[in-house]
A and B are shown apart, each in its own frame.
Chain A
Amino acid sequence: MKKRRKHWTKGDLILNLVVYTTLIFLVIVTLYPFLNTLAVSFNDALDSAKGGIYLQPRKFTLYNYQSLLTRSQIFHASFISVLRTVLSTLFCTFSTAMVAYTLSRKEFVLRKLFSFIYVLTMYIDGGLIPTYFLMKGLGLTNNFWVYVLPGLVTAFNLIVIRTYINGLPESLIEAARADGAGEFTIFVKIVLPLCKPVLATIALFVAVANWNSWFDTFLYNSSNPKLSTLQYELMKVLQTANSMTGSLEQALSQAAAGTVNTITPRAIRATMTVIVTVPIAVVYPFLQKYFVHGLTLGGIKE
């Protein structure tokens, strides 16, 4: 103990001070915007417009949530967001793992060619307009499946899973083959269960990307409100807020007109932000050990 004390020089003390202050500063800067938004979402909309809401609501209300969640458009958009996220995650993870397995078989004669076809897509990009016309030509505009189909298997995910499969003991697969198991059986019964950590990582990446996506809705499905997603609805509110001035007066006049409860664009944005953020904030900490590992795997590439 005494020996350790001796190492606590003045330099160490300053270093510790710098380290802990910076980290605390980072934590505050990261969390404040979220906590502030949370407070605004639970605060009376008109009261928020007066300013001065920081970390806790001043005039607590559930009205913002009530009025948003009872709007059928928001309710429907939540349904579409959940549906696309669930379907994409299931299809993507399974398909990517299956292709990754075939491309990890050293004896597969088309392995090099197929791998090349995938890797090349990381470096070339058809661009916005040709892709738009392709989707149109395939009938994927005004179509739910444009959320799921195009990104089914992507090169990055494929490489991450394949790298993982390559690291599995070959003897397990050999033994199953000696027992007469076919390739598909080996994949489903042996490889898939062993891949759980990397599949959790990929599933998280795919789920987050789908949950967060708004550009595909904007580009392909914006004319059909039945196919709108939560992120796109939030984006629309943000865009109107960008161009709207005098929202305060508007809200105040509405209040003066006799309605007891009012909702302002700021309150709508805050409430929707909380609604789309909470699912992510709840899920990702539990998958942390997987994605930290998965990311370092992805960095290795080939």
Chain B
Amino acid sequence: MKTPVLAGKVIPMKKKSFWATLKKQKVLLFMSIPFIIHIIVFKYIPIWGWTLAFQNYWPGKGFLQQVWVGLDNFRWLFNDPVFYQVLRNTLAMSIIQLVFGMLSSITLALIINEVRIVIFKKTAQTISYLPHFISWVVAANLVRDLLSTDGGIVNEVLMKLKLIEEPIMFLGIPKLFWWIIGASYVWKEVGWGAIIYLAAIASIDPNLYEAATIDGAGRLRRIWHITLPSIQPIIVILLIMNMGYLLSSGFEQQYLLQNGRVIDYARVFTIYELDYGIKMMRYSFATAVGIFRSVVSLVLVFAANYLAKRLGQERLL
């Protein structure tokens, strides 16, 4: 008979103490609850909107008057050849951006770390951050001018070097589109991406370098045997973390640089959703596209997390 009494005593006490504590903490509650409601409205209610994908939604009708179609929208989606094109484009451009973005940022960090003239180092760094802060609208404008056929510097340089006879319309060549996206991404983010690696390099124990110098290692060998292995964990973490975002990255860049000629290589998920959802008013179909992207992204993020944990790296979530 002893235990039930004890349990019966403990449980209400715990409950009472929760509400009592909460009452004591009412100021904290008042400070946070409006924003919790805010985040629920703006981030969680759209998830309720996923029900649209299982209807043949038409605005103006009530929730119960909608025609429910089960998985039809997903069946259409998986039978749409454009969907596979979109999937291919998104993955291709994300992977190009991920690989070249990381490689260039790591290289830049290593290079900046070798600069001994402080003022030069600081100036170069500050300048390298500039493109990160401008919008893709501005960046797309600059890219368009650089690649333009009348007086774009890229065509002019290539012609001066006699590599080409006449200006090439780079933005009109479908096969080149992915690489233009990759190159402009690297141009915009290389300096910003280097910050995190520079921070990692700065935290390396200087004794390691001293020891290596005494052993007769030159600067190159110090980079190879000390700097790179020391920042390897952060490289692995960032690589895995970014793999979780393979389907959710980028849209503005593609939308702003595309044109009719290259659309088959430029169409990514958000453009697909915009075209079907807003322009063609196939709301339910576009919602299904969004659900596919969200769910696959979620799986990727958790897989990435699990992988990072298996590899003994710091947990990301």
CA of A99 to CA of B298, assembled, Å: 26
Residue of A nearest to B104 (CB): A26
Q: Is the interface of A mostly helix, strand, loop or mixed?
A: helix
> Chain B residue with minimal CB distance to A187?
B31
Within 8 A of B (CB), among A37-61: 37, 40, 49, 51-54
Which residues does chain B contribute within 8 Å of A11, judged by CB atoms? Answer: 218-220
Interface range for A: 35 or more
Whether B294 contacts A280 by the Cβ 8 Å rule is: no
A257 at the interface (CB under 8 A from B): no
Give A10 to B316 CA distance when docked, in angstroms.
Answer: 43
A299 and B48 CA atoms in complex are apart in Å by 31
**Cross-chain contact of B298 among A36, A107, A123, A212 (Cβ < 8 A):** A123
Interface string of B293-317 (1 = CB under 8 A from A): 1100110011000000000000111
Q: Which residue of A lies closest to B293 (CB)?
A: A127
The answer, yes or no, to whether A292 is at the interface (CB within 8 Å) is yes
Question: Judging by beta carbons under 8 Å apart, are A284 and B129 in contact?
Answer: yes
The reply to whether the CB of B137 lies closer than 8 angstroms to some CB of chain A is yes
The interface residues of chain B lying within 8 Å CB-to-CB of A219 are: 278
**Chain A neighbourhood of B22, CB < 8 A:** 109-110
- Residues from chain A with a CB closer than 8 A to the CB of B291 are 127
In the assembled complex, A12 has its CB within 8 A of some CB on chain B:
yes
Is A301 in contact with chain B by the CB < 8 A criterion? yes
Q: Which of A46-85 contact B (CB under 8 A)?
A: 49, 51-54
Query: Which of B111, B128, B153: most chain A CB closer than 10 A?
Result: B111
What 1/0 mask marks residues of chain B from 33 to 45 whose CB sits below 8 Å from any chain A CB? 0011011111111
Within 8 A of B (CB), among A109-159: 109-110, 114, 117-119, 121, 123-134, 138, 149-150, 152-153
**Which residues from A are CB-within-8-Å of B36?**
114, 117
User: Are A126 and B108 closer than 8 Å at their CB atoms?
Assistant: no
Flag whether A161 is at the interface (Cβ < 8 A): no
What is the CB-to-nearest-CB distance from A130 to chain B, in angstroms, rounded to a whole number?
3
A129 to B133 alpha-carbon distance, docked (Å): 28
Q: How far is the CA of A2 from the CA of B48 in the complex (A)?
A: 73
- A6, chain B: closest CB distance, angstroms: 12
CB pair B287–A235 under 8 Å, yes or no, is no
Q: CA separation between A118 and B35, bound complex, in Å?
A: 10
- Say yes or no: A130 contacts B115, CB within 8 Å: no
Partner of A273, one of B141, B150, B298: B141
Are B124 and A114 in contact (CB-based, < 8 A)?
Answer: no
Name the distance in Å between B63's Cβ and chain A's nearest Cβ. 12
Q: Which chain B residue has the least Cβ–Cβ distance from A52?
A: B151
Residues of A within 8 A of B297 (CB): 123, 125
Complex: A296 Cα to B32 Cα, angstroms: 26
How many chain B residues touch A (Cβ–Cβ < 8 Å)?
89
Partner of B39, one of A153, A183, A301: A153
Binds B, one of A168-176, A192-200, A241-249: A241-249
Q: Is A87 an interface residue (CB 8 A)?
A: no
In chain B between 145 and 159, which residues have their CB closer than 8 angstroms to a CB of chain A?
145-146, 150-151, 153
Cβ B133 vs Cβ A280 within 8 A: yes
Given contacts A30-B127, A127-B291, A130-B49, contact A182 B142 (CB under 8 A): no
CB < 8 Å neighbour of A130 from B50, B140, B196, B293: B50
**B114 interface hit (Cβ, 8 Å):** yes
Distance from B292 Cβ to chain A, minimum over Cβ atoms (Å): 9
| A248 nearest CB across to chain B (Å) | 7
Residues in A with CB closer than 8 Å to B219 are 11-12, 15
Question: B137 touching A231 by the CB < 8 A rule?
Answer: yes
Whether, in the assembled complex, A277 has its beta carbon less than 8 Å from a beta carbon of chain B, the answer is yes
Contacts of A18 in B (CB 8 A): 111
A212 and B49 CA atoms in complex are apart in Å by 28
Residue of B nearest to A108 (CB): B28
The answer to whether B131 has its CB under 8 Å from any CB of chain A is yes
Q: Is B138 an interface residue (CB 8 A)?
A: yes
B294 neighbours in A (Cβ, 8 Å): 124-127
Residues on A with C-beta less than 8 A from B190 are 26
A129 with B49: CB separation less than 8 A: yes
Bound Cα distance A101, B29 (Å):
11
Would B187 and A29 count as touching, CB distance under 8 A?
yes
Q: Which of B135, B289, B315, B316 has its CB near the most chain A CB atoms (within 10 A)?
A: B135
Given contacts A30-B191, A134-B49, contact A152 B124 (CB under 8 A): no
Complexed CA–CA distance, A103 and B28 (Å): 9
**In-complex Cβ contact of B128 among A30, A128, A133 (8 A):** A30
Besides A109-B22, A129-B286, 15 new A-B residue pairs in contact (Cβ under 8 A), listed by A number:
A11-B219, A26-B128, A30-B130, A36-B145, A52-B151, A99-B31, A105-B28, A109-B21, A130-B52, A131-B49, A214-B135, A235-B256, A238-B144, A276-B137, A285-B126
| Chain B interface residues toward A at CB < 8 A | 18, 21-22, 25, 27-29, 31-32, 35-36, 38-50, 52, 59, 108, 111-112, 114-115, 120, 123-124, 126-131, 133-138, 140-146, 150-151, 153, 187, 190-191, 195-196, 199, 218-220, 248, 252, 256, 259, 270, 273-274, 277-278, 283, 286-287, 289-291, 293-294, 297-298, 301-302, 315-317
Query: Can you list 12 A-B pairs with a CB-CB distance of less than 8 A?
Result: A11-B220, A12-B219, A20-B120, A29-B187, A33-B142, A95-B35, A117-B40, A128-B270, A212-B133, A270-B145, A273-B138, A276-B134
